[in-house]
Amino acid sequence: MGGYRLCVVGATGAVGQEILDVLEERDFPVESLRVCATSRSAGKEVQFKGEKLIVEETRVSSFKNIDIALFAGGAASKEFAKEAQKQGAIVVDNSSAFRLDPDVPLVVPEVNPEDVKSHKGIIANPNCSTIIMVVPLKPIYDAVGIKRVVVSTYQAVSGSGAAAIEELRLQSKALLNGETYEPRVYPYQIAFNLIPHIDVFMDLDYTKEEWKMVKETQKIFHRHTMAITATTVRVPIFRCHSEAINIETERKITPQEVKDLLSNAPGVIVKDNPEAKEYPMPIDAVKRDEVFVGRIRQDNSIENGINMFVVADQLRKGAATNAVQIVELLIQYQCL
């Protein structure tokens, strides 16, 4: 077969646009490409390999004769993913709709690639913050085991979509000019502010975003007793999520051993030289597919503790790139 028949749902959104870019950059074998979105976006044009494609409204009929349906996230997944599955397409879904479904694999290719083999037509892409965290955790987990993880995130507004990016831009401009700009996407001003609240509040006053990081990580590692706690914070930057991660390991490991492990890990770049003031920052990761790791040091408060700071582009590795990598795994394992 020379290529695959693809459908990208949500093609006009931030993640959908990145999916198209990643498919093009990785020279994915495409025989045909259908781009879909809501009725509001139908008729718009998107670019792919120098060609203009007309966006169609997503309908049940959109998945006829489609091999792979890439859902960029949002309400369309609940409405159309199973319809696409019924018509024979393999669905890779970026929404939270299927992530904790026991019959749906939740896959990060650097962590649990073999899980794609158990798919029944739908594969879930984890939450962006989860992906960014588990990629550097995996080598440490394999080497010495992980007993507990404490993570605090610093999440860019692009995680909320294109409207949030525009809100930060316009709100910053207004405030710098001494004007007002009422919040529309967020409950409070995001420009020059931090909001320790992402998604709705749930059990124990943790937000849904925080519980996603707990439950999804446990599922990816197949360890539902792994102790994980998270605090997720929205910060006023446009792109790339950062995370401060504290790990309690089962057995002792030194910071240098962690650096050595991560330096040889797929999808990871270690940037860690305190004397030269080298450490990961969001500007390093923009439009990159790797997870950057630095500030690797011993936790001075416990025997087997490691601290590190992690940064990645959540629109790329945290969403679009991970989804395309999943499809590449399906081809590698001949699971299509």
Domain map of the chain by residue range? 4-126+319-332, 130-314
**What beta strand segments (E) does 55-121 contain?**
56-57, 68-71, 90-93
Contact 1, 26 (CB under 8 A): no
| b/e code 178-209 from CB counts within 10 Å (16+ = b) | eeebeeebbeebbbeeebebbbeeeeeebbeb
For domain 4-126+319-332, say whether CATH 3.10.20.30 is its number: no
Tokens of 201: 């509040």
- Express each pLDDT in 158-182 by its tens digit: 999 889 999 999 999 999 999 999 9
- Whole-number average pLDDT of the chain: 97
- Express each pLDDT in 58-71 by its tens digit: 999 999 999 999 99
Tokens of 74: 């949002």
pLDDT at 335: 87
Active site annotation includes 222:
no
- Express each pLDDT in 179-202 by its tens digit: 999 999 999 999 999 999 999 999
Report which of 283, 257, 259 is spatially closest to residue 271, judged by C-alpha positions. 259
> Catalytic residue among 7, 36, 128, 240, which?
128
> In the structure, what pLDDT confidence band is assigned to residue 288 with cuts at 50, 70 and 90?
very high
Fold match flag (4-126+319-332 vs 130-314) = no
**Count H helices, E strands: the chain?**
8, 14
Which residues is 122 bridged to in the sheet?
91
> Catalytic residue among 36, 119, 240, 241, which?
241
**Residue-level length of the chain:** 336
pLDDT at 1: 45
Superfamily the domain 130-314 falls into = Dihydrodipicolinate Reductase; domain 2 (3.30.360.10)
Q: Is the pLDDT of residue 111 over 80?
A: yes
Active site annotation includes 241:
yes
- Residue 149 and residue 132: Cα distance in Å, rounded? 14
